[in-house]
Structure 1
Amino acid sequence: MTDKAVDGIFGFGQGKLSVISQLSTHGLTPRVFSHCLKGEGTGGGILVLGEILEPGMVYSPLVPSQPHYNLNLQSIAVNGKLLPIDPSVFATSNSQGTIVDSGTTLAYLVAEAYDPFVSAVNVIVSPSVTPIISERNQCYLVSTSVSQMFPLASFNFAGGASMVLKPEDYIIPFGPRGGSAMWCIGFQKVQGVTILGDLILKDKIFVYDLVRQRIGWANYDCKFKKL
């Protein structure tokens, strides 16, 4: 056991050769695993071979017959207001879909969703912060707490499961600039595939239930070692 973060690739895909599938085949663990990634800058977290039972857990079904952990993202809301996004941009096909991937550091949002998302955030924060573009990223000069100035965002999935993002879940700090702190949208604007990486997954319990073909999550302060 160690308190130090471990870096590397650990095969926990859905295929027969993945670690979790082989352990399950030998009767050593159920075909379920969970993680809780720390939100602090030091990295690390908790990996559980099995299911973490946490009050408030919500579940969304996996898209069948996919090599990745694809979910059906249906809509996005900012401060409770649904954004004008055609749900078809999230549909799973050979060239698009929505993937949960702990191996991705940031997060990627298709252009058709990124633009209305950023526009909605800008409308809410513009009276109090200064929006700027830095290296093609949407950023903000902030002189107060981001949790007070920026809105909540909800990613709504099939099965009635919503993932509520606090400001710290979708914006990242870039240090001081001109007496203010610069924060930038952590989503990268892309074509085709939306990927929810560590930026979104941190400080949440995630359960990958391959038996029931679903993913569950609940907000949790992952710096605590006991679950």
Structure 2
Amino acid sequence: MTLLLIQLIVAHNSYEDENGDDETLSLELVHRHDSRFGGDDVDQVEAIKGFIQRDLFRREQMDHRKGINQGHHRRKDMEVKKEFQMSMHSGRDYAVGEYFVEVEVGTPGQSFWLVADTGKDLSGVFSLSYCPNNSDPCLFDISYADGSSATGYFGVETISVNLTNGGKGKLENVTIGCTLSVLNGITFTENTGGILGLGFTKGSFVDRASLKYNTKFSYCLVDHLSHRNVSSYLTFGNPKVKLLDEMKTTELFLYQPFYGVNVTGISVGREMLKIPPTVWDFQAEGGMIIDSGTTLAALVLEAYDPVVEALTNSLKHVKRVDKSLGDLDFCFESEGFDPSSMPSLVFHFGGGVKFAPPVKSYVIDFGPNVKCLGFVPINGTGVSVIGNIMQQSHLWQIDVYQNTVSFAPSRCG
């Protein structure tokens, strides 16, 4: 599960910016492996096994949260003047698969590292020194996708943001959770203290930000093995990154709180694979979502088997390693591996749009001298997932007003 974190200020008494100029906010996003979290000497193999397990729990929960709301649109006469932009970093140096942003919560502000997660709509802060009174009515008891859970209270808060022109802005009536209890091995600590939910539902962070600032947001995930000094951005408004090709746009399915895409097929080496169309049909309990909170790409077996078979046809001469690497079925010694020998993998979206990730996004580094095909299988029906490793080195832009998903290759700088 990859997480993105953003520096925000949550307060009951916020203030507006002082002028009407277009504005942009920047916050630092840091990968969970960042050494500032105390993880300098982590074991990469164990870290990957951990996020494979968290991804599994996450997908199981996705199947319980169905409810397509296609056709959602914002008011055409809404006034959008301001933008904000949050600096993001990979957490490779902390040996976890998440991305983080620093957030200040409360009055006076208390700094936390929050997970920027498009698969969750509720923003939650854990390990706070203060929570609402027991008499307050809004109690929650939540099970998370990594198998952990937490209880506490949630309510409506104001999130204040630092705009790039030096001004201040605020988001009012954002639903945010608060808890003192962290249960069942949840991976958050007092320093990595919560989630910034970037999924879409009424009252969510994205809902409030799209009303106040801009109806589209974008993020560009640097290579997941990048060190913490390599930055990218989460932006509400127009992204400020250099693209390596033109933006491509396809239809967005609001599979609340998830962001779904209309998949028409997958090809490997220019050959369309034989995958039943129902695999991509949300109404048939299938479909595919783009999820920054899941690390690896996950495919139902009817898609997983032909994809893996087609890719392994080009890996007949590699030396396989034993199958003790979680759900990753095909791993091999990387010595002598030539990425140029791999066929192109292409996801075909509605409108003839093609997403062709680089080889490093589907033949991933697992550990020292070991590479694996970066897919995990989903048994039975369910939603397939384009995880954050598959999304890396691309700008992704989601517009909740136009119902579009756009993307383009980028170095994210």
TM range (shorter): 0.7 to 0.9
1:145, distance to aligned residue in structure 2 (A): 4.3
What whole-Å deviation, never above 9, does each CA across 1:182-219 have from its counterpart, x for those lacking one? 21111110032201111111110000011110111111
What residue in structure 2 maps to residue 207 of structure 1?
397
What residue in structure 2 maps to residue 151 of structure 1?
343
Verify: 1:20 aligned to 2:206, yes or no: yes
In structure 2, C-alpha distance between the alignment counterparts of 1:48 and 1:161, rounded to whole Å: 23
1:132, distance to aligned residue in structure 2 (A): 4.8
CA contact (8 A) 1:122 1:131 kept: no
CA contact (8 A) 1:140 1:182 kept: yes
CA contact (8 A) 2:29 2:232 kept: no
In structure 2, C-alpha distance between the alignment counterparts of 1:13 and 1:206, rounded to whole Å: 14
CA contact (8 A) 1:140 1:183 kept: yes
CA contact (8 A) 1:32 1:207 kept: yes
Which is greater in Rg?
A: 2
Q: How does 1:74-113 map to 2 (within 5 A)?
A: 74-93=264-283, 95-113=285-303
What TM-score, normalized by structure 2, do the two folds share? Answer: 0.49
CA contact (8 A) 2:219 2:233 kept: yes
Structure 1 regions of 5+ residues with no counterpart? none
What residue in structure 1 maps to residue 239 of structure 2?
52
1:102, distance to aligned residue in structure 2 (A): 0.7
In structure 2, C-alpha distance between the alignment counterparts of 1:51 and 1:3, rounded to whole Å: 18
CA contact (8 A) 1:71 1:100 kept: yes
CA contact (8 A) 1:147 1:166 kept: no
In structure 1, C-alpha distance between the alignment counterparts of 2:215 and 2:367, rounded to whole Å: 42
Residue type at the aligned position of 1:103: G
Instruction: Kindly tell me the number of residue pairs found equivalent between the two proteins.
Output: 216
Verify: 1:216 aligned to 2:406, yes or no: yes
Q: How does 1:180-191 map to 2 (within 5 A)?
A: 181-191=369-379
SS at match of 1:108: strand
Verify: 1:134 aligned to 2:312, yes or no: no
Distance 1:123 1:3, change over 3 A: closer
Distance 1:85 1:200, change over 3 A: same
In structure 2, C-alpha distance between the alignment counterparts of 1:167 and 1:65, rounded to whole Å: 29
In structure 1, C-alpha distance between the alignment counterparts of 2:363 and 2:272, rounded to whole Å: 20
Moved more, 94-103 or 46-55: 46-55
Residue type at the aligned position of 1:95: E
In structure 2, C-alpha distance between the alignment counterparts of 1:50 and 1:155, rounded to whole Å: 26
In structure 2, C-alpha distance between the alignment counterparts of 1:82 and 1:189, rounded to whole Å: 19
1:118, distance to aligned residue in structure 2 (A): 0.8
In structure 2, C-alpha distance between the alignment counterparts of 1:33 and 1:100, rounded to whole Å: 14
What residue in structure 2 maps to residue 34 of structure 1?
218
Verify: 1:10 aligned to 2:10, yes or no: no
1:50, distance to aligned residue in structure 2 (A): 1.3
Structure 2 regions of 5+ residues with no counterpart? 1-26, 31-88, 90-99, 101-113, 116-194
CA contact (8 A) 2:278 2:284 kept: no
1:3, distance to aligned residue in structure 2 (A): 7.7
In structure 2, C-alpha distance between the alignment counterparts of 1:56 and 1:184, rounded to whole Å: 30
What whole-Å deviation, never above 9, does each CA across 1:167-191 have from its counterpart, x for those lacking one? 1111221234xxxx32111111003
Identity value in percent: 29
